Amino acid sequence: MKILTKNWKVNQTLRLGEYLKTGGYQALKKVLKKMSPEKVIKEIDKSGLKGRGGGGFFVGQKWKIVFDKKKQQKYFICNLDESEPGNFKDKTLAERSPHQILEGMIIGAYAVGANKAFIYLNGTFKEAGQELEKAIEECYRENLLGENILGSKFDLNLEIFYGAGAYICGEESALINSIEGKRGEPRKKPPYPCDWGLFGKPTVVNNAETLANISWIIENSGNKFSKIGKIDSPGTKLFSIDGAVKNPGLYEAPMNNTVENLIHLAGGVKKGLALKFVQIGGSSGRVIPSGYLSETPSYSSGSEIPIGSGSVLVFSELDDIKKILLSWINFFQRESCGKCVPCREGTFRLKQILERLDNGNFDKNDRQDLPKLIWTLDNTTFCPLGKFSVVAIKDVIKYKMVRELT
Amino acid sequence: MLYIKINDKNYQAKKGQTVLEVCRENKIFIPTLCQHDDLGPSEGVCRMCLVKTNKHRGLVTSCQTGIEEGLEVVTEDFDIEKARRYNLELLWTDHFGKCGSCTSNGNCELQTLAGKLEIDVDDFVPTSQGFTMSEQLKILKESLKNRVVDDKNPSIMRDNQYCIECRRCIKTCQLIQTVDAYGNNYRNIKTNVGTPSEIPLDCIYCGQCVTHCPTAAIVEKSNIKELNEVLLNSDKIKIFQIAPSVRFTAGEAFGLEPGTLVEGKMITALRKMGADLVFDTTFSADLTIVEEANELIEKIKKKLKGEKVAFPMFTSCCPSWVLYIEKYYPELIPNLSSCRSPQGMLSSVIKTYYAETKKIMPENIVNISVMPCTSKKYEAQRPELARNGHQDTDIVITANEFARMVKQKGIDFVDLKEGKFDKALGKSSGAGIIFGSTGGVMEAALRTAYEQITCDELGVLDFKEVRGAKGVKTTEITIPKSHCLAKEIKIKVAVAHEIRNAKKIVEMIKEGDCDFDFVEVMACPSGCLGGGGQPYPVNEKIRAKRRKAIYERDKGLPIRKSHKNPEVKELYEDFLQEPGGHLSEKFLHTKYFDKKKKID
């Protein structure tokens, strides 16, 4: 079952002409001609579509909140900051099928009543940026953007905002700060962007992959979508599968696949190697040892393994877990915005300890401090980045994967 | 009224309050570092104030959590204790080991809190034999590689080694002064608070960042060393002056209630430290009023004659305000009164009139002023305020530095006998005293201007409309016709403190709808009594106490009008001749210069 990638061509971008041939922008036409914003939101609500950025919030609900804020400037933002290590789904999506994202954005903006939209693009995605620029130009030319889109009364201006590639700017409130020209730091929530977003106005921030689902839902009905995958995590998902697998790459699969199935999608574990553990959802994701592969990652609230942004990193016995832990904490320390004490100082001290773990100097003091730091990062940081930074190490301790930490 | 529970006890609270505010009101201890009452909603940076409630998952910052009906708060439990302790340990580890030589030793919020929670200093540092002491220190201080020390201005000194990134200075500068001198540089462990691209501090030197800094990351640029040198090694005549407001604040540094009058003790302390003479800046505040009121009257006369004069006239006793105009609105320089500040006037009078009468060479005088203000250090160095290559004011110390010096010399301040100012330049009126508060200069000027214009005695001396903590206060004074004034005139005045409020008036002028005649501006909250050189911690409650004490003192003084100060009168008779005369012009007035940054 494929929704997002069914029309993709190998190493080729779907330009407007081809996108239209495969039924592109039919959903937008339908929306503008026949559907009221309420009806669009109802359809999306019925589909049960959840945000693909990692949080898994109901898209319909988010749109409804912003729709209900009447008579004011509203903004619609597509989050294409994707900087979780091991993830390349949004980037690939923008490179292969930029119009899919744009169509979702235009429909979304129509539904919530926004006439200004931004794509917050990770500035390091050069190719994706070029493809999106071209696609936006095509849209303006064909009246899919601009004033009175396709003869309707709906106007939408859309532009790309190039971020500098900071991880924290993928967090919606930091992303908004960044567009406003401020330091990329998370804001206190509540108020959420739906109430107090860009320039203090109600704002929708949706992940690019989320938006790529919209046109299919409009055309095929929310009901149909809700039957794919798992009951409370409907639809398919893009999985960035990488590491010790035969064919690393981007795969689309319904959200009812076990970890084992996902590894099979990529051709299974590389020949001659034995799987040691898998990490789901990037560096902030859970680490699962080889004995637990029958779990199904999803957005369901009760799910043992949150699917996060959908990356599957497969590690073999060639990989040194200590080095991997160190590289993750290096990542989180580097990307900490420096706003709150526990994240700024804590990730740094944790990094020092993991360095000592790696070079054999881990001592009894470190053994005492490590649980303190993990608890502090897990419970006291301003935004979830602190929590994210210790997910992996918590699993490593839980599954006794490193001798010194047992 | 809302009812909430804190630690299983019922409390009443007002809608819109935060959990922290309610706890503070009810004396329930919650530690904080980044929160400050002056700075509006907190940013939740320090994580010290975490609590638990029945409406939130996990720990939440009490400074950012609003109260609601039925809220139940827990402020003490195992998790909360851990959260406070571990985060403080993290901060302390990054900060460790400098208390002994630190200027904020004993007056540091981080130190106090660490003491309260009994924080160990060696956390997060390996102890195994594999590490030498220097390696341990290296690990400990690895985060300090971006150390920035900025002492390139005369007023404020920054050393980000002491900084805990609470951001209070950033908010102070942004919110209260709208100068925006500080911001965050870099990210992760390298995050530090600094100036854009770490250029030397370029601001108005008000020092509010000093009084709002919880540690010693931002302190006044100390002149204690220089002063000690003079006191111990110089045979010059050391003449001190004490600003009107510091006599109501300096006691706080010795544990006295805010607003306690310590004038006499200060004089005695200064004499003990080696002062030859102690004069009163309040005397020259009176002098300033006589000159400034005269300037205002002359300007009004010109206006009535139809001449073009820049209105409103701005007061010029606040050096930060003067610098703000020079740097940001140089086109308004003609609006500034040309009067020097009281410090500038007294120093000038000492080195001219006093030196002449006492037959002392001005070069043999060292003028030292005890000021509420960091900006006065800058003012003292202005090239216009010098004669024959010598600055009129040689050394400026703040109230804080004064207190530190007293402590360093082991003087028991509280037990000191009450001293008296020296004659000739030591008498003052109540009008001079209220210079220390926002609205004070205005009120003093009005008392004098009224009598000078009408030649009649003013009945009620209190101009209550210009008192108090309101950001912008305005009123209209009717000066009735008299045998000196043919037709009654109305004078519209405004009083603003904090640059954010002064800016409102500046914007009105820019818009062309400002009809004020006279505007008093003080850069600091509540004027000099909330100055950047005053003892801290400080908040509105403390400032209110200081303000009250100042006005009470004014009320109790026999002379309450500047022009009735006998020593001021004497000075005019013996030396200056008349207000605004050519000698006044030479010794009591000054010039301002366009200092706006030019972008090529």
> Could you read off the pLDDT of B272-286 as tens digits, one per residue?
999 999 999 999 999
- Give the pLDDT of residue A10: 84
Contact B189 A344 (CB under 8 A): yes
Residue of A nearest to B41 (CA): A188
Residue A387 CB coordination number (10 Å): 17
B200 and B251 co-located in one domain: no
- Which residue among A338, A349, A365 places its CB closest to the CB of B127? A365
Q: With contacts defined as CB-CB under 8 Å, which chain A residues touch B44?
A: 188, 340, 382
Q: pLDDT tier at B140 (50, 70, 90 boundaries)?
A: low
Domain boundary among B76, B103, B119: B76
Report the amino acid identity of residue B278.
Answer: V
Low-confidence ranges of chain A (pLDDT < 70): none
Pairing of strands B72-74, B149-150: unpaired
Check if the beta carbon of residue A286 is closer than 8 Å to that of residue A391.
yes
Domain boundary among B47, B76, B105: B76
Residue A219 CB coordination number (10 Å): 13
CATH architecture label of A321-405: Up-down Bundle (1.20)
B573 belongs to the catalytic site: no
Contact B127 A339 (CB under 8 A): no
- Give the pLDDT of residue B127: 57
CATH for B426:
3.40.50.1780
Structure tokens at A164: 């500098």
CA distance A290 to chain B (A): 32
Q: What angle do CA A80, A81, A86 make, to 5 degrees?
A: 105
B18 and B159 co-located in one domain: no
A220 contact B CB<8A: no
Query: In sequence order, what are the residues at sequence separation of 6 or more whose Cβ sits closer than 8 angstroms to the Cβ of residue A403?
Result: none
pLDDT at B400 over 60: yes
Check if the beta carbon of residue A252 is closer than 8 Å to that of residue A3.
yes
Cα separation of A104 and A387, whole Å? 31
Distances (CA, A) of A220 to A5, A39, A215, A283: 16, 14, 8, 35
Cα separation of A218 and A204, whole Å? 19
B212 and B336 co-located in one domain: no
Query: In sequence order, what are the residues at sequence separation of 6 or more whose Cβ sits closer than 8 angstroms to the Cβ of residue B274?
Result: B231, B232, B238
**Residue B134 resides in a domain:** no
- Give the pLDDT of residue B556: 95
> Could you read off the pLDDT of B121-137 as tens digits, one per residue?
666 766 555 567 677 66
Q: Exposed, middle or buried: residue A98 (CB in 10 Å: 0-12, 13-18, 19+)?
A: buried
A334 contact B CB<8A: yes
Interface test mutation site (partner A, options B32, B80, B87, max chain A beta carbons within 10 A): B87
Strand partners, B158: B150, B218
Provide the domain limits for residue B178: 142-220
pLDDT at B96 over 70: no
**Residue B486 resides in a domain:** yes
B539 contact A CB<8A: no
Peptide bond into A384 cis (omega under 30): no
- Give the pLDDT of residue B600: 67
Cα separation of A91 and A73, whole Å? 29
Distances (CA, A) of A60 to A193, A239, A300: 15, 23, 16
Contact B87 A361 (CB under 8 A): no
CATH for B148:
3.30.70.20
Which one from B252, B295, B451, B567 is the annotated catalytic residue? B295
Output DSSP code: residue B341: P
- Which residue among B43, B59, B126 places its CB closest to the CB of A361? B126
B216 and B253 co-located in one domain: no
Structure tokens at B30: 């919650």
Q: What angle do CA A295, A299, A301 make, to 5 degrees?
A: 90
**Residue B231 resides in a domain:** no
Cα separation of B417 and B422, whole Å? 16
- Give the pLDDT of residue A55: 82
Residue A270 CB coordination number (10 Å): 18
Q: What is the mean pLDDT of residues B445-461?
A: 93
pLDDT at B143 over 70: no
> Could you read off the pLDDT of A161-220 as tens digits, one per residue?
999 999 999 999 999 999 999 999 999 999 999 999 999 999 999 999 999 999 999 999
Q: pLDDT tier at B92 (50, 70, 90 boundaries)?
A: confident
B289 and B205 co-located in one domain: no
B517 and B387 co-located in one domain: yes
Contact B87 A342 (CB under 8 A): yes
Residue B58 CB coordination number (10 Å): 13
DSSP string, B174-240: IIIS-----EEES-GGG-EEESGGGPPP-S----HHHHH-SSSSEEE---HHHHHHHHHH--SEEEE
- Which residue among B50, B90, B191 places its CB closest to the CB of A346? B90
Q: What is the mean pLDDT of residues B207-232?
A: 96
The whole-chain average pLDDT of chain B stands at: 93
> Could you read off the pLDDT of B160-184 as tens digits, one per residue?
889 999 999 999 999 999 999 999 9
B288 and B351 co-located in one domain: yes
Peptide bond into A191 cis (omega under 30): yes
B367 and B326 co-located in one domain: yes
Contact A340 B44 (CB under 8 A): yes
Q: Exposed, middle or buried: residue B272 (CB in 10 Å: 0-12, 13-18, 19+)?
A: middle
**Residue B297 resides in a domain:** yes
Contact A376 B86 (CB under 8 A): yes
A379 contact B CB<8A: yes
Q: What is the mean pLDDT of residues B33-57?
A: 95
Which one from B252, B379, B451, B567 is the annotated catalytic residue? B379
Q: At A100, is the secondary structure helix, strand, or coil?
A: helix
Domain boundary among B192, B220, B248: B220
B323 and B419 co-located in one domain: yes
Q: What angle do CA B308, B313, B319 make, to 5 degrees?
A: 135
Q: How many CB pairs under 8 A join A and B?
A: 112
Report chain B's terminal Cα–Cα distance, integer Å.
Answer: 58
Cα separation of A103 and A288, whole Å? 37
Q: What is the mean pLDDT of residues B350-366?
A: 95
- Give the pLDDT of residue B74: 97
**Residue B374 resides in a domain:** yes
B139 contact A CB<8A: yes
Lowest-confidence region among A77-91, B46-60, B139-153, B195-209: B139-153
Check if the beta carbon of residue B204 is closer than 8 Å to that of residue B327.
yes
Q: What is the mean pLDDT of residues B326-337?
A: 96
B245 and B216 co-located in one domain: no
**Residue B109 resides in a domain:** no
B177 and B261 co-located in one domain: no
CATH for B63:
3.10.20.740
CATH architecture label of A230-316: Roll (3.10)
Q: At A58, is the secondary structure helix, strand, or coil?
A: strand
Contact B139 A352 (CB under 8 A): yes
- Give the pLDDT of residue B123: 65
Q: Topology of domain A16-227, per CATH?
A: Rossmann fold (3.40.50)
Report the amino acid identity of residue A199.
Answer: F
Structure tokens at A4: 């997002």
> Could you read off the pLDDT of B252-265 as tens digits, one per residue?
999 999 999 999 99
A279 contact B CB<8A: no
**Residue B124 resides in a domain:** no
Cα separation of B208 and B211, whole Å? 5
Contact B189 A336 (CB under 8 A): yes
Query: In sequence order, what are the residues at sequence separation of 6 or more whose Cβ sits closer than 8 angstroms to the Cβ of residue B551?
Result: B434, B437, B467
Distances (CA, A) of B291 to A175, B299, B386: 56, 12, 20
Output DSSP code: residue B589: B
Interface test mutation site (partner B, options A335, A340, A387, max chain B beta carbons within 10 A): A340
Q: With contacts defined as CB-CB under 8 Å, which chain B residues touch A381?
A: 47
* ipTM value: 0.93
Peptide bond into B537 cis (omega under 30): yes
**N residues, chain A:** 406
- Give the pLDDT of residue A18: 94
B407 belongs to the catalytic site: no
Half-sphere exposure of A202 (CA within 13 A, CB side): 20
Number of domains chain B is built from: 3
Phi then psi dihedrals of residue B233, to 5 deg:
-115, -5
What torsion do the CA atoms of A117, A121, A126, A129 make, to the nearest 10 degrees? -20
Q: Where are the domains of chain A?
A: 16-227, 230-316, 321-405
- Give the pLDDT of residue B125: 63
**Residue B64 resides in a domain:** yes
CA distance A368 to chain B (A): 9
Cα separation of B532 and B520, whole Å? 18
Structure tokens at B259: 């607003």
B425 and B461 co-located in one domain: yes
Structure tokens at A173: 């409130």
